[in-house]
Amino acid sequence: MTYYLAPDACLKWLETRSLYRVTSDELYELDEQSFRFLGDCASSEGCSSDETAFVDYCLQEGILTTRRTLPDRPPVIPAPKPSLRYLELQITDRCNLRCRHCYLGDGAPHELSVDQIKNVLSEFEEMQGLRVLISGGEPLLHSRFQAINDLLPRFMIRKVLFSNGLLISDKLLADLNVHEIQISIDGLERAHDALRGKGSYQKSMNAIALCRERGMDVSVSTMVHAKNLDEFTHMDRMLREMGIRDWTVDVPCVSGRLKDNRDLIVRPEEGGEYLRYGFGSGLHDAGEGFGCGLHLMSVLADGRIAKCTFYAEAPVGKIEDGLRRCWEKIVPVRLDDLMCDCSYLEICRGGCRYRAELLGSSRGKDLYRCFRYDIMNREPGRA
What is the chain's pLDDT, residue by residue, as a tens digit (383 residues)? 899 999 999 999 999 999 999 999 999 999 999 999 999 999 999 999 888 899 999 999 999 999 998 888 999 999 999 999 999 999 999 999 999 888 876 777 899 999 999 999 999 999 999 999 999 999 999 999 999 999 999 999 999 999 999 999 999 999 999 999 999 999 999 999 999 999 999 999 999 999 999 999 999 999 999 999 999 999 999 999 999 999 999 998 888 888 899 999 999 999 999 999 999 977 776 578 999 889 999 999 999 999 999 899 999 999 999 999 999 999 999 999 998 888 888 888 888 888 888 877 778 899 998 888 875 455 444 43
Distance CA 273, CA 268 (A): 8
Confidence (pLDDT) at 334: 93
Q: Around Cβ 263, how many Cβ atoms within 10 Å?
A: 9
8 Å CB contact between 330 and 297: yes
Domain membership of residue 327 (yes or no) is yes
Domain membership of residue 353 (yes or no) is no
Confidence (pLDDT) at 381: 43
Domain membership of residue 184 (yes or no) is yes
What range defines the domain where residue 218 resides?
86-333
Same domain, 171 and 253: yes
Distance CA 258, CA 177 (A): 33
Same domain, 47 and 102: no
Q: Write the secondary structure of 45-56 as one string of H (helix), E (strand) and C (coil).
A: CCECCCCHHHHH
Give the total residue count for the chain.
383
Same domain, 61 and 90: no
Q: Around Cβ 210, how many Cβ atoms within 10 Å?
A: 18
Distance CA 114, CA 60 (A): 39
CATH of the domain at 201: 3.20.20.70
Confidence (pLDDT) at 383: 39
Domain membership of residue 339 (yes or no) is no
Confidence (pLDDT) at 382: 43
Same domain, 144 and 263: yes
Same domain, 247 and 100: yes
8 Å CB contact between 278 and 248: yes
Which DSSP string do the residues of 203-262 spell out, in sequence order? Answer: HHHHHHHHHHHTT-EEEEEEE--TTSTT-HHHHHHHHHHTT-SEEEEE---S-GGGGG-G
3-state secondary structure of 129: coil
Same domain, 45 and 178: no
Same domain, 46 and 173: no
Same domain, 198 and 230: yes
Domain membership of residue 296 (yes or no) is yes
Domain membership of residue 364 (yes or no) is no
Domain membership of residue 216 (yes or no) is yes
Cβ within 8 Å of residue 176, ≥6 positions away: 149, 161
Same domain, 118 and 267: yes
Domain membership of residue 70 (yes or no) is no
Helices (H) and strands (E) counted in the chain, each on its own, are 13, 14
**Structural domain tally of the chain?**
2
Same domain, 147 and 13: no
Backbone angles phi, psi at 373, to 5 degrees: -80, -25
Last residue of a domain, one of 333, 348, 366: 333
Same domain, 19 and 148: no
8 Å CB contact between 18 and 11: yes
Same domain, 204 and 175: yes
